[in-house]
Amino acid sequence: MPNANDNTSTPLSQVQHRAVAELLRVAPVADDLARRFQEAGFRLALVGGSVRDALLGRLGNDLDFTTDARPEDVLRIMRPWADSIWDVGIAFGTVGSQKGGYQIEVTTYRSEAYDRTSRKPEVAYGDSIEDDLVRRDFTVNAMAVALPEKEFIDPHNGLEDLAAQVLRTPGTPEESFSDDPLRMMRAARFAAQLDFDVAPEVVEAMKDMAGRIEIVSAERVREELNKLILSAHPRKGLALLVDSGLAAQVLPELPALRLESDEHHRHKDVYEHSLTVLEQAIALEGNGPDLVLRLAALLHDIGKPRTRRFESDGRVSFHHHEVVGAKMTKKRMTALKYSNELVKDVSRLVELHLRFHGYGSGEWTDSAVRRYVRDGGPLLDRLHKLTRSDCTTRNKRKAAALSRTYDGLEVRIAELKEQEELDAIRPDLDGNQIQKILGVGPGPVIGKAYAHLLELRLENGPMEEEAAIAALRSWWAAQNEQ
């Protein structure tokens, strides 16, 4: 295999050729597009993640290209060719398109730098691919294949680092992170996605420069955090965020767990427990990565540091940490600009994650089971998974007993659902019926009557219509006597 130090543009080795041949087999649009750029007098190359993933044998339908053509020229070349075009990233030199089922982005050679107070990069276009590659985040993302001639370009030994499964920066990490501090989070994210190690000098720079992340917008931080959490190995990336000090800047509730003792598992801290719960939740997902479940698993115990109490008998308690944790979750996720719906769902799961522990050995009444289902609502399946994941004891007998007990609760839920349609628990009379029976129009009293009938439904299960009408009239009479 040619040494990338000898030439920045070398013929493909046999291994590299197979990788690029596979890329072109699944994406023949690459050659077609390259010819169009060549005919217009410009150069085009596959770059970054597309080359990396082709070499790893995991190429998807997203293809990244780089070119010396300016954005207006890229638009002119691609408009008659692509199925659709979007230019939302054109201010940063990127034109997006769709062609035959592939998502394609073409970016003009560029360099980016932040000043000390800016949250947005300043974009400057370049004229050589070598200058473009040196500004990329990591060497494994700084490889390119020039098309249509298919020359492999690797000026920073990215192929060597790919083989060693290590993340390094093309230049010094200090320069790279100064240009774009978000690259520090990207190091953690790629470690989690690729299961790669981060070079020691990169980790040291992350520790020294962690505070620089504050100039990056919350939205960009959130997106990197999401990609990390949804990756195949999130523990690895999260541990790097904590160890480097970045988590203290963007998710301080996580490192705050590190020294807290869990009341059920004194031999391990809540931080390790939370990472284990996350991994166990992932194992239960079934239908692909679930951001709501993963965030809830990671954050479910963040209320413990604020609620820790040392009891007179030597125990450590965390009373109501689920309520405090739900409020903390809402505050942190709001600061990271998550959607209102996502904030609501994750906070609700954090609030409910201890509810099962009141179940004992199955002492709940049918009414209590109904309330559990109602409170879980559309999150009930996730609540099942979160609750099961929250058992990290090494005591196999205890773990088996908890699992059997939850099995029993799920059986009871299934039986009641079959009998009563628990997924849509509502009173036995609707609002229109209540108005007609009471002879009153819309107003607060209808809501109160509805709430009363809902409580009866939860407590006693379904009622026949006549019994529901009688209960409503009895409640109404009591209201009029007050």
Q: Do residues 417 and 389 both lie within one domain? A: yes
| Radius of gyration for the alpha carbons in the chain, expressed in angstroms and rounded | 29
Question: Do 304 and 325 meet the contact criterion of CB atoms below 8 Å apart?
Answer: yes
Q: Do residues 396 and 310 both lie within one domain? A: yes
Residue where a domain terminates, one of 108, 140, 159: 159
Do the domain assignments include residue 242?
A: no
Beta bridge partners of 144: 47, 153
Query: Alpha-carbon distance 473 to 480, whole Å?
Result: 11
Say which residue the tokens 């990244």 belong to: 64
* Nearest in space to 138 (alpha carbons), one of 88, 74, 75, 183: 183
Q: Do residues 19 and 106 both lie within one domain? A: yes
What is the residue type of 232?
A
What is the residue type of 478?
A
Q: Do residues 31 and 135 both lie within one domain? A: yes
Quote the tokens at residue 1: 């295999």
The confidence score (pLDDT) of residue 405 equals 85
**Residue burial 410-444, b: 16+ Cβ < 10 Å; e: rest:** eebbeebeeebebeebebbbeeebbbeebeeeeee
The confidence score (pLDDT) of residue 8 equals 43
Do the domain assignments include residue 27?
A: yes
Check whether the bond before 148 is cis (ω within 30° of 0).
yes
Do the domain assignments include residue 13?
A: yes
* Nearest in space to 19 (alpha carbons), one of 205, 145, 157, 185: 145
pTM above threshold 0.85? no
Q: Do residues 471 and 332 both lie within one domain? A: no
Q: Do residues 24 and 59 both lie within one domain? A: yes
Strand pairing class (102-108; 94-99): antiparallel
Question: Do 66 and 45 meet the contact criterion of CB atoms below 8 Å apart?
Answer: yes
Q: Do residues 394 and 351 both lie within one domain? A: yes
Per-residue pLDDT of the chain (482 residues), as tens digits, is: 344 444 444 444 666 666 666 666 656 788 899 999 999 999 999 999 999 988 887 888 899 999 999 999 999 999 999 999 998 888 889 999 999 889 999 999 987 655 656 656 667 888 899 999 998 999 999 999 998 888 889 999 999 999 899 999 999 999 999 889 999 999 999 999 999 999 999 999 999 999 999 999 999 999 999 999 999 999 999 999 999 999 999 999 999 998 644 444 444 589 999 999 999 999 999 888 999 999 999 999 999 988 888 877 778 778 889 999 999 999 999 999 999 999 999 999 999 998 887 776 667 888 888 888 888 989 999 999 999 999 887 778 888 888 888 888 888 888 877 765 555 567 777 888 888 888 888 878 888 888 888 888 777 777 788 888 888 888 888 887 66
Do the domain assignments include residue 464?
A: yes
Do the domain assignments include residue 143?
A: yes
Q: Do residues 450 and 412 both lie within one domain? A: no
Q: Indicate the number of domains in the chain.
A: 3
Q: Maximum distance among all alpha carbons in the chain?
A: 95
* Nearest in space to 353 (alpha carbons), one of 421, 279, 280, 301: 301
Residue where a domain terminates, one of 423, 439, 463: 423
Do the domain assignments include residue 187?
A: no
* Nearest in space to 91 (alpha carbons), one of 119, 66, 122: 122
Quote the tokens at residue 8: 């920045």
Q: Do residues 307 and 389 both lie within one domain? A: yes
Q: Do residues 403 and 430 both lie within one domain? A: no
What's the domain range around 92? 9-159
H-helix segments, 421-460 = 431-438, 444-460
Query: Alpha-carbon distance 79 to 73, whole Å?
Result: 10
- 95's enclosing H/E stretch is strand 94-99
Question: Do 151 and 12 meet the contact criterion of CB atoms below 8 Å apart?
Answer: yes
Residue where a domain terminates, one of 133, 159, 185: 159
Each residue's pLDDT tens digit, 146-193: 988 888 899 999 999 998 999 999 999 999 998 899 999 999 999 999
Question: Do 144 and 51 meet the contact criterion of CB atoms below 8 Å apart?
Answer: yes
Question: Do 139 and 122 meet the contact criterion of CB atoms below 8 Å apart?
Answer: no
Q: Do residues 331 and 440 both lie within one domain? A: no
Do the domain assignments include residue 261?
A: no
Q: Do residues 315 and 351 both lie within one domain? A: yes
Do the domain assignments include residue 123?
A: yes
What is the residue type of 180?
D
